[in-house]
Amino acid sequence: KVILGLSGGIDSALIATLAANALGKENVLGVMMPSMYSSEGSVNDSIKLAQNLGIEIRQEAITPYFEQFMKDKEKRGDLAEENLQARLRAIILMFISNRENRLLLCTSNKSESAMGFGTLYGDLAGGLNLISDLTKTNVYKLSNYINKDKEVIPQEIINKAPSAELHPNQKDQDRLPEYAILD
């Protein structure tokens, strides 16, 4: 049995799809952990993906944990606060992983890993990364291939600009070159 964070993004969508195909849908748990910056579309896209795959999903917002941690601290909207969000998600996922004896799947691709674009003890947490050898452009190619006969991964996930949604209107390309150039 495995668990992964479902963000509404392409990487987690592909990993959920691969896991459901490899292990059976009954063995995959996707956890949505929206924050104050998560778009409604990301939550809805995750729900649609889970329905398409037939996997179990749960939702646990990180905003209350974030607010509790920050109650006596100045809010700056900086990297420390972004990384805190990723680490709160990892804590939730690791708790469920340990409690339910599930392997946590990491959701980073090769492009992000090569650039150090991830949070140690955050979104890089996990016991296995199914797409660690796939560049971001290949993540898109494989996702489109999976959808060649029917929509498994919602097209909205494939079409949206990649974002960790750690601050308002964030896009991966704010800090990285376009993936076609990077890859």
Is 50 exposed, middle or buried, given 0-12, 13-18 or 19+ CB atoms closer than 10 A? buried
pLDDT at 122: 85
Which of 36-40, 44-48, 109-113, 167-171 has the lowest average pLDDT?
A: 167-171
**8 A C-beta contact, residue 152 and residue 17:** yes
Cβ neighbours of residue 175 under 8 Å, at least 6 residues apart?
A: 117
CA dihedral 44, 38, 122, 9 (to 10 degrees): 40
Give the span between the Cα atoms of 128 and 125, in whole angstroms. Answer: 9
pLDDT at 33: 97
The model's pLDDT over 55-64, given as tens digits with 9 standing for 90+, comes to: 999 999 999 9
Residue 90 has pLDDT above 90, yes or no: yes
pLDDT at 48: 98
pLDDT at 168: 83
Strands 2-5 and 128-129, how do they pair?
A: unpaired
Percent of the chain topping pLDDT 70 = 100
In the chain, DSSP finds a helix count (H) and a strand count (E) of 8, 5
Residue 175 has pLDDT above 90, yes or no: no
Q: List the one residue out of 34, 36, 54 whose CA is nearest residue 44.
A: 34
Q: What is the reported pTM?
A: 0.94
Beta bridge partners of 134: none
pLDDT band, residue 101 (cuts 50/70/90): very high
pLDDT band, residue 141 (cuts 50/70/90): very high
Percent of the chain topping pLDDT 90 = 84
